[in-house]
Structure 1
Amino acid sequence: MTTEHAAGGVGHGRAPRCSGLVRLRELRQDDRGAVTAELAVALPAVVLVLAALLVVVVAGVSQVRVVDAARAGARAASAGESDGRVHEIVAQLAGSSASAAVGGDGSWVIVTVRASVTGGWFSGPLTVSATATARVESSTGVP
């Protein structure tokens, strides 16, 4: 079975074949601008994910600082330090914007520390807090 092509040639039932190079050029011309369009769509999403990740990391670091400050404040308060000194220790470890509340009964001391974490335009203000408890050290019976 033979067929005639528009160019006047005779074939055997198949369309004329394009060379691989010609087909590759056609594909490249058809896809012009596709990468730019995909990048324009994907880039804002990547930026938002990175911004969210940054806020989470900053909040995590702030939480660790607040936990350390509460622990150190409770230790200082249990050793008999004044509330002013406990606030100084908390401010030194958690930052000057952190607030501390010292309380407890006669045998236990409870220190609660709160600090604000700014999330920028991505999120509202976040608050991290930690509470530490320590037994009041007695000075009797110490050699």
Structure 2
Amino acid sequence: MGARAGFGRQAGAITAEFAVALPAVVLLLAFLLAGGAAGLTQLRLEEAARAGARALARGESNSAVTGIVQRSAGEGAATGIASDGGWVRVEASARVGGALGILIPWTLSAKADTPQESSGTEVPADG
């Protein structure tokens, strides 16, 4: 009986240690998932800004460029369009979703500049 009583105490200690460590492991997992969501959002924004800048340089309208950016980066993405001389710039920004995206207000952005291809068409700065 003495051996069984000792095992019961060890099992209780292991359960207590697990109960203490579990919240730390869950929090670490949540931060890893949030970091992954932020990385994925940043990649989507960069690709959306590049696609929007290419379309704008070809002479697409501002509303078409906004549609391209939102299709690539998500419906919640904001689009900024500007022109400076022979260059066009598209900026895409969005909030990070995921496990901690609701609690932590992360907003990421990406910009892309490219030379304007179509001649004689100036992009309005107000977008």
Global fold match (TM > 0.5): yes
RMSD, aligned α-carbons: 2.3
Q: CA deviation at 1:124?
A: 1.4
Structure of larger gyration radius: 1
1:130 is matched with: 110
Q: Unmatched 5+ residue regions in structure 2?
A: 121-127
**1:88-139 superposed Cα distances (whole Å, 9 cap, x missing partner):** 1001100111011110213000111100113555741111100000001145
Equivalent position to 1:99, from 64, 73, 78: 78
User: Which digits, 9 at most, give the CA deviation of each residue in 1:21-47, with x for residues without a partner?
Assistant: x99667535524111011001111000
Q: 2:32 aligns with which of 53, 59, 68?
A: 53
> Which residue of the other structure, out of 50, 70, 84, is the alignment partner of 2:63?
84
Conservation of the 8 A alpha-carbon contact between 1:118 and 1:124: no
Task: Could you list the structure 1 runs, at least 4 aligned residues long, displaced by more than 4 angstroms after superposition.
Answer: 22-27, 119-122
The whole-number CA distance in structure 1 between the counterparts of 2:100 and 2:40 is: 19
Q: Flag the structure with more relative contact order, 1 or 2, with Cα contacts below 8 A and sequence separation at least 6.
A: 2
> Comparing 60-69 with 25-34, which one deviates more in the overlay?
25-34
